[in-house]
Amino acid sequence: MASTLKIATWNINSVRFRLGIVEQFLAEEAPDILCLQETKTVDDTFPVDALRAAGYEHQLLCGQPMHHGVAIVSKVPLHDRSCFDWQTNGEARHIGARLDCGFRIDNVYIPAGGDLPDREQNPKFGQKLDFLERMTQWSDALDEPTVLVGDFNVAPLESDVWSHKQLLKVVSHTPVEVEALGMLQAANDWVDLGREFIPSPERYYSWWSYRAKDWAKSDRGRRLDHMWASPDVAKRAVAHHVHEPVRGWEKPSDHVPLVTEFRV
């Protein structure tokens, strides 16, 4: 009987501040691998011991002080650590590894892009588009089975946002970002696992702003977090879940975990 591998991704928005809900999620869901974004800590102060005590012995870290930061913690071995600088300024936004089951995993935190969707008036928006272009070049040259996960900071479909009409000029859902993400997806024929299991136009969000007094009641969400796989790996996917109730846990992140289970 084939075994399964359960992979989770979560923008935690400070792993030290929210360690309690990370431990709770790991205890309840027990993924084999957890990919974290926006850890907001240098590697020396990452909660290595606490997560090791939770059963995640294998850990790859790429952190920096106060901002950004990514990590992979795992029950299974991780090999050949990679840390690509797609931002070209040293920001900690990617970490990758190879797995014994025959594919690699890449964990990415794509820049948010600021508030104004204009490259000339807002350099952060240009950085985001350039980041996506560098990822696309990498993706085009990729020649091994891969799972790509993380906070992409783009909600591409109309059903990925609470109001397509009202968000068309809001960074994360603008046509230029959606086009750039589409080029990235096409570069390796990536399969959007979330939409394989929750087809559009079904509602699918992974982020709700802290600004909402009652995030669940207003439900102004966006699907900013994604799990993609190259076609050969996508065929192994057997389940996908959005852990929406986590948004209501104590001291929550504004993002919730996504989990995909693969036959290996």
The predicted-structure confidence for 89-125, as pLDDT tens digits, reads as follows: 999 999 999 999 999 999 999 999 999 999 999 999 9
8-37 mean pLDDT: 98
Helix H or strand E segment including 141 = helix 123-141
The reported pLDDT for the residue numbered 2 is 62
Q: What percent of the chain has pLDDT over 90?
A: 99
Please classify residue 80 by burial: count the beta carbons closer than 10 Å to its beta carbon, then call 0-12 exposed, 13-18 middle and 19+ buried.
Answer: exposed
CATH number of residue 86's parent domain: 3.60.10.10
235-242 mean pLDDT: 98
Q: Which domain holds residue 250?
A: 4-263
DSSP letter for 146, please: E
The predicted-structure confidence for 115-135, as pLDDT tens digits, reads as follows 999 999 999 999 999 999 999
> Does residue 84 register a pLDDT over 80?
yes
Confidence band, pLDDT 50/70/90 cuts, at residue 1: very low
pTM: 0.97
- What's the number of domains the chain is made of? 1
